[in-house]
Amino acid sequence: MSALIEKCVAIDGPCGSGKSSIAKVVAERLGALYVDTGAMFRAIGYFCFKNKIPFSEGDSLSSCIADLKLVYRKGDNSSGVYIEIGGEDLTDVIREHYVSELASKISKLQTVRDFLLMFQRAIAQHSLCVMEGRDIGTVVFPHSFCKIFLTAKDSVRANRRLLQLKEKGDCTVTFETVLADVKDRDERDMNRAVAPLKQASDAILLDSSDMSKDDVVEKIIDLVKESSCKNRLKI
Ligand code: DC
């Protein structure tokens, strides 16, 4: 294996593109670990909010991050993720609607990104991973053997997000508010100075607007197989 090929499937894309549910199934099919990096930003955003740590660079944030006891592993719930900080299980609370904004805001900060970069790279040392986020193919694993950039039209993404929230029993949200939140988050995620959301030059673009989840999964599995053959990797 070339030293410059990283054995991690990188799936990036904006919110609501279907990354999480698709990456989870792709990982199961490949016998790989599913890594939801958004869950990590969510957990840190929630933790800082709860502990009144300002969302800005400075001593409070630095010492909070230096002492952070973050645990990420496979969960046996529907998200496939278990996450805790300092022994507190945050698996469910990070999926609350308001935590999306906290995650997006905390993700702008270099201290947080530096910490999670090391954390994410360390996870992938031990097993084949399917890692999804915003900067996996551009920053975390720039030499990933298979990079996918998954997207969908704004209205499709907002509808998917709305459905997820309704399924969780949140009846307060409307299509308009979710669409506005999706656009706000895109704006912040794409325009931040550090590791912004963007398609890596060697990533394959997949628009899932008119595709079923199964079709997207099959397409990605095919791409992973093709890339592993091309790079002579055993998957
Ligand atoms: O994928 P998600 O919606 O759970 O992510 C929540 C926020 O975390 C998202 O708005 C931006 C941030 N994020 C990031 O900056 N980089 C990542 N690799 C993953 C998420």
| Pocket test residue of 134, 183, 191, 198 for ligand 1, highest count of atoms within 8 A of CB | 134
Residues 33, 105, 117, 197: what is their CA dihedral angle, to the nearest 10 degrees?
80
Q: Ligand 1 centre from 39 Cα, in Å?
A: 7
Res 2 pLDDT > 70: no
Q: Which DSSP state fits 140?
A: I
> Does the beta carbon of 135 sit less than 6 angstroms from any atom of ligand 1?
yes
Q: Ligand 1 centre from 172 Cα, in Å?
A: 23
Quickly list DSSP for 13-65: --TTSSHHHHHHHHHHHHT-EEEEHHHHHHHHHHHHHHTT--SSSSHHHHHHH
pLDDT in tens, 58-68: 999 999 999 99
Q: How many CB atoms lie within 10 A of CB 173?
A: 14
Q: Which residue stretches of the chain are H helix?
A: 19-30, 37-50, 59-66, 97-106, 110-126, 154-167, 175-191, 213-230
More confident residue, 1 or 90: 90
> Does the beta carbon of 38 sit less than 6 angstroms from any atom of ligand 1?
yes
The distance of Cα 1 from the centroid of its chain, to the nearest Å, equals: 27
Residue range 123-139: mean pLDDT, rounded: 94
- What percentage of the chain has pLDDT greater than the value 90? 85
150, 19 contact by CB (below 8 A): yes
Q: Ligand 1 centre from 212 Cα, in Å?
A: 23
> Does the beta carbon of 208 sit less than 6 angstroms from any atom of ligand 1?
no
* Alpha carbon distance 16, 133 (integer Å): 12
> Does the beta carbon of 12 sit less than 6 angstroms from any atom of ligand 1?
no
* Confidence bin at 1 (pLDDT 50/70/90): very low
Domains plus CATH for the chain?
6-230 (3.40.50.300)
Res 173 pLDDT > 90: no
pLDDT in tens, 100-115: 999 999 999 999 999 9
85, 44 contact by CB (below 8 A): yes
Res 3 pLDDT > 90: no
Decide: residue 91, CB within 10 A, 0-12 exposed, 13-18 middle, 19+ buried.
middle
pLDDT in tens, 180-209: 999 998 998 899 999 999 999 999 999 999
> Does the beta carbon of 107 sit less than 6 angstroms from any atom of ligand 1?
yes
* Confidence bin at 56 (pLDDT 50/70/90): very high
Give the number of the atom of ligand 1 that is nearest the alpha carbon of residue 94: 4
pLDDT in tens, 146-171: 999 999 999 999 999 899 888 888 88
pLDDT in tens, 58-103: 999 999 999 999 999 999 999 999 999 999 999 999 998 899 999 9
